[in-house]
Each structure stands twice: as C-alpha cells, then as structure tokens.
Amino acid sequence: MLDILRRIVQEVSAATDLSDALKVVVARIREAMATEVCSVYLYDPDSKRYVLMATEGLKQEAVGRVSLSSSQGLVGLVGSRAEPINVDNAPAHPKFHFLSETGEDPFLSFLGVPIIHHKRLMGVMVVQQRDSRQFDASEEAFLVTMSAQLAGVIAHAEATGNILEIPDTTEKKKSTRFTGAPGAPGVGLGQAFVITPAADLGAVIDKEAESIPEEIERFEKALEGARQEIRVLGKKLSSELRPEEMALFDVYLNMLDDQALGAEVRARIEEGNWAQGALRQVVMQYVGHFQMMEDVYLRERATDIIDLGTRILAHLQGWDEPPEEYDFPDNTILVSEELTPAMLGEVPPGKLRGLVSVRGSSNSHVAILARAMGIPTVMGVVDVPYAQLQGLEIIVDGYRGQIYSSPTDELRQQYQSIYDEEQALQKDLEGLRDQPAETTDGHRIPLWVNTGLITDAVRSLERGAEGVGLYRTEVPFMMKDRFPSESEQQQIYRQQLETFAPNPVTMRTLDIGGDKALTYFPINEANPFLGWRGIRVSLDHPEIFLVQIRAMMKASEGLNNLRIMLPMVTSVNEVDEALHLIYRAHAELVEDGRQIEMPQVGVMIEVPAAVYQIRELGSRVDFLSVGSNDLTQYLLAVDRNNPRVADLYQAFHPAVLNALRMIAESATAIGRPVSVCGELAGNPMGAVLLMAMGYDMLSMNATNLPKVKSVLRGVSREWAKHLLDDVMQIESAPVIAAMVQLSLEKAGFGRIIGPAARG
Ligand code: PEP
Ligand code: MG
C-alpha cells in the first residue's frame, strides 16, 4: 500500500497542472482500491458549493457541471462533519441526494473523505461501488492518507496559480485577501514584484515566452553550459574513479543529448512557454517517470535528472536575468515562494514597501531582517497564488499577517490612513532619540540593537541605540557565494565597530545550520535545528572560527569596543574550547605587534540545557545573553519556521517566562550581566516583563527600539514587578499576552501597541 501511495504522490507531483493531477489521482485510486468509481469534488467558497472536478467511473460530461450545495447529499455531510462517511447503501441514507447527470444510480457503497489543508476544507474525495458493502478500515485509511496528500497538492496549485477555474462561480471579487503570519509589523502599499530563487526548479513559474527564438537560444546556451560543466566534472574525477563509475558521466551527457531532454524542452518552448518553465515541466515529467519504475537503479535516475535540470536552470538564470536587470517599481512589494535574505539585497533601498513569502514564519531569518529594516512583512501565506500577483496592487498588513491583492478604494483609503498614522507616531517617537530608557522611578535599562546589515547599523544610530547587543555575522556570510576571506571580514566588521564606537558591539560568531543556510556550505540533515549548528560547526572547523575571530580582533584595533558572543552553547566544554581558540588568536595577534585589547566574551543562553548551567557557564565568561527565539523553540519543541505550528510558538508561554526569570535570577546571583537579544526584548509587552525580571540590558531591532523606550519611560519598575507577579500566576499563554496588553492599554500605551495588538 505504501509503495502505491508513494508512487501516486510522485505521479501527482509531476503533473503539470491541477486538472492533470486530479485525473491521475482518481484513476490511480480507483485502480489501487479495485473499486468502480473515484471522484473529487472541490469546494468553491464563493458559491459555497461542491463542484465535481474529476471522476473515473461517473460520466465525464458531468465534470465541471455538476455541483452540490454545502449541505446537500453525502458529499455535503462529509464536508460539514469533516470526517469520513462509509455506508453500504448510499441511496437508503437520509442525506443521499441523487444526481442524475452523473449516472451514479447503480452504485450502493459509498466512502467519502474530506480534503483538508491547514484546517481549511478544500473538497471531498469519494469512492463508490456497485455491490452493497462497507469499505474496510484499511481502505478507509488509504483514502484518508491520499486525501491528506492531495490537500497539499491543491494548496500548492492555488499558490502557484495552477488552480482550476471552478465553473459556476460568481464573478471574481475585486479584492482578495490572503492570510499568513505576521513577519514584520507595519503596513505597506505598493505593486507586487515576484522573484524566483537562483536555481530552484520547483519555484519556476510558467510564463509566456516573449520571443520563442530567443528563449530557444537561451536554452541551447544553458544546455551547452551544463554539458561543459559535466565534462569538466568528469575530467576532474577521472583520476579517482574507476572506468565503470566514469560511465555515469556518459549517462549524464546522454541525458543532456539534443534528442532527449533537449528536444522535449524545445518543443515546450515552441508551444509558447519560456525556457525556464519548459525545463521545469520536462524535468518534473521525467522525474515522475523514473520514480514510477520498479528498477531501483532506474528510479535513482530521478535524482540525476533533477541535478541536471537544476544545473541547466542555474545557467539559464545566470545570464538570463542577472539581478541588476530587474526593474523594480518605486513601491515594490517583493513576493516569492520562499524569500531569502539575499533577495532583500536585490531591491534598491527606498523602493521596498513590503514583503510576502509563501513559506516560512515570523521567526525566519528573512523576517528578522525585515523587522530590522522596518519593512512590513507577511510570512507563510500558503494559499496565495503568488505567481499571479506580478504587477498587481498589493496591501501588506504586517500586524495581522494578511495581504490584499487589487484592493477596493475603501480598503486602500483605510490602509493609507493607518500608514499615515504610523508615520506620525514614528515622528513623535523620534523625539525620544537622546532620552535614556529610564522608568518613572529611576530604573535605567540600556537599549541596544540587533544588526546584521550595515543599513540597520545606520538606522539604529538614528534611533538612539546605545550599543549592539547582537551582530549576526552570518548575514554578511549569506550575502556571498563563498566564505568571505579574513581581510574581507575584517573590513565588514570594522564598519560595524566604527559606526558604533565608542559604544560596544557584540559580534556573534557564525551561527549557521538550523534555518540559516549558506548556499556554498550546505548542511543537509533530517533535524537541522537539533544538528550541526552554531558553535558546533565553529568548533569542528577551527580554521573558519579562527579566521573569524582574528578578523574581529583586527577590526577592533584602536577602537576596543568589541564583544564576542558564542551561539548555541549546550555545555561548558564548548565554552572552554572556544575560549582556548580565542585566547590563542589574541596572543598571536599581540605577538605580531598589534595593540589589541582582549575583548569581553559572552555566551548565548538559548538551549534549555544552558538554562540549568548559568552558574557554570557564567563563571567562565564576561556576560550572558538570552536568545529567546531559540529558547522558546527548544523549550516548546516548536520549529520557529514551521507555519503549521506557528500558533504553538508562544513567546508568553508560562514555561518560557519561568525559564527567563530563572536565568535572570541565577545570573544576578553570580554577578554576571545578562541581557535578552531575542525578539521578545523588542516587543514592548515583553520588554516590560523582562525589565521587571531584572535583565540588565535589552537588545532589539531598530524599528521597535523607540516604542520600547517610550513604554519603559512611561511605567515604574514597581508597577512592572506587580504585573510580572500577576502574570506568573497564570497558566495560559494567550491569557498572559491579553493581560499584559490590557494593562499597557490601560496605562495609556494603546497607540504604541495598538496596531500590533489588533493583529
Ligand atoms: C535567538 O535565538 O533568540 C537569537 C537572538 O538568535 P537567532 O534568532 O539569530 O537564532
Ligand atoms: Mg538563536
């Protein structure tokens, strides 16, 4: 069963559009279950009807024509109950609704299962049989499994714009709303610009070729480029491989032969698709064929074909659309299946108004960057037909995590006024720039910033940051296509250190792995967040670590405002090992005659194990800083980037707050300064609680700094401590969040947390 399932899924994934996919599904399921009818009804939310979209066994003329209201028939019952209905005599069921057009009268047995994606009902899948019998448990389980797979395919088809036109729907609504997760607060109005990643076959969209001969020429060049690459690769390996292994390269070259893949792609281009779209279609079709094969060796060819396809695509994209040729509108809303930090860099500063990503969540790195840059962002908009948005007017509501395409005039005016109000608030907050973050009863808590790009460093100063609590060094690493050299790093770090001198800059050593990937240093693991990440990578590669430490220290010469921070620490051994290398690097530089002060070294507390070793870790270093983003994810066992569990990622979870309070108390007890540099510190509601817990400093994105400062200056520490005491009695995260929000609103901060709170 599993094997059949796997093959159906692969075949479905290879289908070029949803209509083909549904046809494949119904045909294969009918065959696999040896039943007489298999049909798919999709739910059209506009007309609130189930429309028959594919069938094997009922009359084909009924497809697209026959529909049922949401309460009609057994199909309606499956949908409203959101559970399978399995009956041996359907016509005898009180809910049965006879559809004469389908020719279903002779079928007695009926098994219907809902198709649900992210709690949303997308349709109903039905199998029917002439004999009167109940489908057994394994058949029911099979259909439920298939429908869960199909739900993902339908959602993806919607997202890529390959969705079927559901007939009978009333005329399209003018404005369409899509919901995701809030990525960065704010409201952005502008024009969509859809961007595809460097070489990701799955993300390539179908597009009409502007000039067929030019597309063919592009493809030929790319094909030759890929061939050349394979030849070179083969040559390089020829001394290490045996002749029979070398034969693989001939296989590759044969696949790239003009008569094979090349000819098929060319034919698709001639039908009107652009080269990239044609390539994706052909490669996916090949992959489907290969994966269907019984022969293991042949099945493995699927991997080769994806590799080749990606190589050709990289050549196509390499010279086809170099980033500098993108013509971004002045008010760009950047849209992509999966936004990457590098993509942000492609839009000229000043033109970017908002970001929309189909994948990812508010904790993705790109969202963190967006918050730093103050760009309204919505992540994980899984249902948006992103490929169809190009050029459309879009509103990004980063508070609620929603976007609107082609908004109505009223909607546009409403959002324009929120935008104007935001700008006005920002102006008011600017007046706080040179004021300290001090509570009404005289408790001062320095506010620092998190940076990664030089742009946020500059913005931070404008907003009155007193230092850098977290400089994410992986960000400049992500912007390159290879490891930056020691002198390149030195230059980048010097810029940061100089910008803030004499204020301190906390540079975190490379924190790759988890969700932070370097294209040129891929780490493929089943559980990346529990794998080779942060300090673990650095200690396994002392050559990379030492280059980084030396570059940081050299950059700090004469400024002496450097602090070094170690990410993802889980044990004291890691700290000892890292300290050993740091001291060694320092001693060598001093030996070389450089006047460099030994920087302060700190440890990030972001893994539950570290929470219970504050004393041991703290006694080895100069400071501690809590990475509340990771700490929350590891405490709650919730992937910070997975939109499916985004609502379980609760920053105000009592367990998280208890851990945070315990860290502050333990650090204070051993006299080590402790700060928070996760997103919670930049949330005015979180900042008030952290201040009350006794944190010595908070580090946040520059956008939120004035808001946090304004709130902290408006409350007393006593008041915040009372609030904290009350909050710690509560057992539920949403209740805690609501209580803090209400208290701040009552204290007069509704305007500051207003739009965020509404979200
Ligand atoms: C954190 O985990 O809270 C943190 C500040 O680091 P990052 O988000 O870069 O993992
Ligand atoms: Mg972290």
Closest CA to 411 of 657, 754, 173: 173
Residue 629 beta carbon below 6 angstroms from any ligand 1 atom: yes
Helix (H, G, I), strand (E, B) or coil at 189: strand
Using the atom order of ligand 1, give the atom closest to the CA of residue 679: 3
Q: Can you give the pLDDT at residue 242?
A: 46
What is the Cα–Cα distance from 734 to 654, expressed in whole angstroms?
A: 10
Q: Whose CA is nearest to atom 10 of ligand 1?
A: 630
User: What's the 505 CA to ligand 1 centre distance in angstroms?
Assistant: 16
Element (H, E) at 302: helix 296-320
Give buried/exposed letters for 253-280 (b at 16+ CB in 10 A, else e).
eebbeeeebbebbbebbeeebbbbbbbb
Residue 606 beta carbon below 6 angstroms from any ligand 1 atom: yes
Rounded to two decimals, the pTM is 0.66
CA angle 68, 69, 73 (to 5 degrees): 60
Q: For residue 559, give Cα distances in angstroms to 489, 496, 597, 598.
A: 16, 11, 9, 12
What is the Cα–Cα distance from 636 to 331, expressed in whole angstroms?
A: 39
Catalytic residue of the set 156, 315, 365, 653: 365
Q: Which residues are within 8 A (CB) of 569 and not within 5 positions of it... i.e. 6 or more apart?
A: 534, 535, 575, 603, 604, 605, 607, 610, 617
Rg (CA), the chain: 29
Element (H, E) at 368: helix 365-373
Q: Residue 38 catalytic? A: no
Residue 678 beta carbon below 6 angstroms from any ligand 1 atom: yes
Q: Which residues are within 8 A (CB) of 193 and not within 5 positions of it... i.e. 6 or more apart?
A: 326, 328, 329, 332, 333, 334, 335, 347, 390, 391
| 3-class secondary structure per residue, 517-571 | CECCECCCCCCHHHCCCCHHHHHHCHHHHHHHHHHHHHHCCCCCCEEEEECCCCC
What is the Cα–Cα distance from 136 to 146, expressed in whole angstroms?
A: 16
What is the residue-wise DSSP string for 595-609? --PPPEEEEEE-SHH
pLDDT means per 10 residues, the chain with 759 residues, are: 72 74 89 93 90 93 90 93 92 89 86 88 94 90 85 74 50 70 91 79 84 92 83 62 52 70 89 92 79 54 70 74 66 87 70 91 73 86 85 93 92 89 82 92 96 72 90 81 88 93 97 79 87 96 96 97 98 98 97 96 98 98 97 95 84 98 98 96 97 98 90 97 98 96 93 57
Q: Residue 677 catalytic? A: yes
Ligand number nearest CA of 363 is: 1
User: What's the 641 CA to ligand 1 centre distance in angstroms?
Assistant: 12
Mutational pocket test of ligand 1: of 629, 638, 656, 700, the residue with most ligand atoms within 8 Å of the beta carbon: 629
What is the residue-wise DSSP string for 57-78? SS-GGGTTT-EEETTSHHHHHH
What is the Cα–Cα distance from 151 to 273, expressed in whole angstroms?
A: 27
* 160 close to 386: Cβ distance less than 8 angstroms: yes
CA angle 527, 529, 535 (to 5 degrees): 125
Token pair for 143: 């259909």
Residue 630 beta carbon below 6 angstroms from any ligand 1 atom: yes
Residue 632 beta carbon below 6 angstroms from any ligand 1 atom: no
